[in-house]
Amino acid sequence: MQTLYFVCFDLVREKLNNAMEESPSPSSGLLHDETASETLLGEEQEFDSETLLATEEREYIQFLLEKEADAGFSRHQSSLIANDNWTKSARLDAICWILRTRASRGFQFQTAYLSVTYFDGFLSKEPVDKPWAIRLLSIACLSLAVKMEESGRPRLSQFLLEEGYEFKRKMVQRMELFVLTKLDWKMRLVTPFAYIHYFIKMFCKEESLRKNMIPRTAQLILDAMEDAKLMDHRPSTIAAASTLLALDQKSTRNALEMKVNAVNPTGFLHIEDVVSCYNRILEIDKETATAEPNYRGAEAFENSSVSNGSSRKRKSPSVT
């Protein structure tokens, strides 16, 4: 039985590796810089580098949107989480732990977001009602996200294991396999961070302001994880709403609609969803502003790097 388990887990790793190889690197397309473009073009090519970058950018965004559609985001996924107070409280504690671990180990922003996406997807299909099981699920989801987004193989020692929680590696591996099964092996998911540079460029016409918007937008995306219902929205919607909020906290619906329509010729953004996300993230941001900060520091997010992030201090749930 033990031998069979390890054979299965080898298949897990193989499928994850295959998924990573099939997907284009996030450094391609809109994340190319001018040096990379010149190398790609060659000195003798007559193409305009800016035109090429714009074409690659559109193709990359289209790829992301297709991946979103494949993921099948559903408004009903969060119903179990949103309607159960214990689960909501335990989820917030899990997110806090994930963000603390991300900050202490230097994992990327999208790694934390992806792990919460796995976490929510699992809870929507398999209720968990024990504190130790919630922490084990958190570790398994973060471990899987690390395998998808980070270089190298994660070790259990990389994760913050607080007093009272001790898990053997085999137990974590079994939970990983359980998560993979429940999520139908759909692990290569798009996160809002993939859209940050695109939407900042589209919504903010003043180039001097764009760099300062990056950490603010990243922080708002992390804040959005607090609300399980927001996680049901498509990543592009969350990214657009967060970018618009980083640009202006007092936008009217008409102003938001004008901005969205200006960059949305194919209709991939639904104005009702963007406005709803904008208003809810604004509420969360105001609540966060009065809370004691802890690991907030998305200012470390710059250029195309997504290597540092933040969270905030939350009251631990009352669980026994």
CB atoms within 10 A of CB 227: 19
The per-residue pLDDT for 168 is 85
Q: Are residues 196 and 176 in the same domain?
A: no
Alpha-carbon distance of 230 to 13, in angstroms, equals 30
The per-residue pLDDT for 25 is 42
Q: Are residues 177 and 199 in the same domain?
A: no
Number of domains making up the chain: 2
Does residue 207 lie within any of the structural domains?
yes
**The domain spanning residue 246 has which CATH number?**
1.10.472
- Residue at a domain's end among 150, 182, 214: 182
Name the nearest CA neighbour of 306 among 246, 226, 217, 183. 217
- Residue at a domain's end among 132, 152, 182: 182
Does residue 100 lie within any of the structural domains?
yes
Alpha-carbon distance of 268 to 237, in angstroms, equals 9
Predicted TM-score (pTM) of the model is 0.75
Q: Are residues 130 and 202 in the same domain?
A: no
Q: Are residues 151 and 197 in the same domain?
A: no
The per-residue pLDDT for 135 is 92
Does residue 233 lie within any of the structural domains?
yes
Range of the domain at 264: 192-300
The per-residue pLDDT for 13 is 52
**The domain spanning residue 136 has which CATH number?**
1.10.472.10
Token readout for 77 is: 């996924």
Name the nearest CA neighbour of 277 among 242, 304, 317. 242
The per-residue pLDDT for 264 is 77
The per-residue pLDDT for 137 is 95
φ/ψ of residue 171, rounded to 5: -65, -40
Does residue 232 lie within any of the structural domains?
yes
Query: pLDDT tens per residue, the chain (320 residues)?
Result: 444 444 454 555 555 555 444 444 443 333 333 333 333 334 444 445 555 556 777 788 888 888 887 776 655 566 667 677 888 899 999 999 999 999 888 899 999 999 999 999 999 888 888 999 999 999 999 999 999 998 877 676 667 666 567 788 899 999 999 999 999 998 889 999 999 999 999 998 888 788 889 999 999 999 999 898 888 899 999 999 999 999 999 999 999 999 998 887 677 889 999 999 999 999 999 887 765 444 444 444 443 344 333 333 333 332 22
**56: CB partners within 8 A, 6+ apart:** 28, 29, 30, 32
The per-residue pLDDT for 29 is 34
